[in-house]
Homo-oligomer: A and B are copies of this chain.
């Protein structure tokens, strides 16, 4: 049933090595025999075994996307599909395959290193920061194993990320430009990288607009509905409520919206709202929310490209890429 290179060689009356050269379109083979051998391959329905090729070439033509499935509602979660699509779109055309590897099995630490890297099962790695500890990066770097981080890292190595800082600036500046005199910032844990970046952008926008930073208008907390609700309740019932709020994600925004509704605060007239992330709720809220869309397909593409570069030439220096988010203006922030 299965036909190998040897079968083709016999059928064509040539040597295995010749067939191999035809396979790889070597210039030292005459067009004549190429034609002939290729026809026979068609006829006999031959497909080279990639495992054998891999062994001979010492490469698997496979890259892995590392994830930690045990962490719920991670950044990757909602955008997973698009990131994968992006990666796939660039590696696929270069004849690489993508394997998804979950770190968090009950395996001993560093197991995926064995399972994939030392194993020679994959030629390169893409992982986001939640998975890539500093120690891991060092180890990979030491092994000279190609990897790309999705999300900024300090360790050596390339990464791609969204420009959260400029995102924070965009949302805040937009609200100010709409005539909201004061803007609050709600959600995210103090010290968390993404939150810090987004918050820094918020501060920058205030500064550029010559507005003071009011600590009372900055609220930290887990990025979910209840926290958004609580924060908005506090802010809106305080002596000096802000005129607008930047929310760190859709769920916080939902909570804020709910609080505003209960307090009878009209949006966008009395309170402007703008949120990070366009998915999954922003467009479907009442009123629809102004949001900052990040195109994670492009993120995947960028990561894939960097990795391909690296695999093509291991000497390629590390690169860092910041993608710009896109502001989507909707009713929640258009005061008119």
Residues of A within 8 A of B (CB): 45, 47-52, 54-55, 60, 62, 69, 76-78, 80-81, 84-85, 88-89, 92-93, 97-102, 105, 114-116, 118-121, 225, 254, 279-281, 284-286
Contact = CB atoms under 8 A, between A and B. Distances in A.
B50 A120 contact: yes
Contacts of A118: 45, 47
B69 A77 contact: no
Given A98-B100, A100-B98, A102-B88, A114 B280 contact: no
Contacts of A121: 50-51, 97
Contacts of A279: 280
Contacts of A49: 55, 119-120
**A55, A114, A285 pick with most chain B CB within 10 angstroms:** A55
Contacts of A99: 62, 97-100
18 contacts: A47-B118, A49-B119, A50-B119, A50-B121, A51-B51, A52-B55, A69-B84, A76-B81, A80-B80, A84-B100, A88-B102, A97-B99, A97-B115, A98-B100, A100-B100, A254-B284, A280-B280, A284-B285
Given A49-B119, A51-B51, A101 B97 contact: yes
Given A51-B60, A97-B115, 6 more contacts: A49-B55, A51-B51, A51-B121, A92-B102, A280-B281, A281-B284
